[in-house]
Amino acid sequence: MQSLSSPFALTPTTTVGELAASRPSSTRVFSRRGIDFCCGGGKTLEEACRRRGLDPQEVLREIQQELERGAGEPVAWTERSQAELIQHIVAHYHEPLREELRRLHGMALKVLRVHGEKDPERLSQLADTFVLLKDELEPHMEKEERILFPWILSGRPVPQGGPIERMMFEHEQAGQLLVRLRELTGNYEVPPGACNTWRALWNGLEALERELHEHIHLENNILFPRASGRA
């Protein structure tokens, strides 16, 4: 169970990224409340709440409750080695993501082909946006696995303005495409009368968003700051 008092007190001026990294269960609250803790991790809790029309004190109370609950606490990756974290990212996020991108692409094309006439503009924009996301993420993971992660594992400092900033920029691009997918799917509300493939596509895309937020959070807020000497 995480300490409630260390490594620093919870305040509205703490950044969302620091909270997510130091108290992993806070990410459950962020997901529930729609607070972006991966690409938006540099914002203070106060700013992030303001954007969502939420009361920061209320959100802090919810985080405290999650911490007190304790059971099923996610792993505190700040306390693990970079090698363990990289191994976890590749096994738990990259490999399943490659598979999921192929599966969901097939489903998006099938829904467009079979049901395209019901909502042609939205379904074709959805398929196009999904392809942009897939084309962004597949080479992105390759670059991480072939260039950046081995560099970090070698122990050499990663230079400023280099591969880390490039990867963070690509995370931002992916984050914007996720926002677009959420808009196009009406917040993943399954339309009445949708077939099983349509329903499974909406559910699969929502799960993809959740997993990507966690994945990008581990890289942006824990792995990269440590690799560049910022944490």
Residue 36 or 144: the one with the smaller Cβ distance to Fe ion is 144
Stretch that binds Fe ion, among 61-69, 118-126, 142-150, 151-159 (CB under 5 A): 142-150
Q: With contacts defined by CB under 5 A, name the span among 63-71, 150-158, 176-184, 219-227 that binds Fe ion.
A: 219-227
CA dist 174 → 34, 103, 133, 182 (Å): 17, 18, 6, 12
- Tell the smallest beta-carbon distance from residue 160 to Fe ion (Å): 18
Residue 18 or 144 having the CB closest to Fe ion: 144
The distance of closest approach from Cβ of residue 222 to Fe ion in the complex, given in angstroms and rounded to an integer, is 12
Q: How far is the CB of 169 from Fe ion (least distance, A)?
A: 10
- CA-nearest of 8, 26, 9, 4 to 17 is 26
Residue 161 DSSP class? T
The residues, any chain, with a CB within 8 Å of residue 60's CB and separated by 6 or more, are 10, 11, 12, 45
**Using CB under 5 A, which of the segments 21-29, 73-81, 144-152, 180-188 binds Fe ion?**
144-152
- Does 36 bind Fe ion (CB under 5 A)? Our answer is no
Binding to Fe ion by residue 214, rule CB under 5 A? no
Distance CA 105, CA 107 (A): 5
219 binds Fe ion per the rule CB under 5 A: yes
**Opening angle at CA 186, ends 66 and 213, nearest 5:** 40
d(CA 126, CA 118): 14
Provide the minimum distance between the beta carbon of 16 and Fe ion in the complex, in angstroms, as a whole number.
Answer: 18
Closer CB to Fe ion, 77 or 202, in the complex: 77
Q: Which is nearer to Fe ion, 93 or 198 (CB)?
A: 93
Closest by CA position to 43, among listed 68, 67, 18: 18
Backbone angles phi, psi at 204, to 5 degrees: -65, -40
Q: Tokens in use for 20?
A: 């997510």
**Binding residues for Fe ion (CB under 5 A):** 144, 219
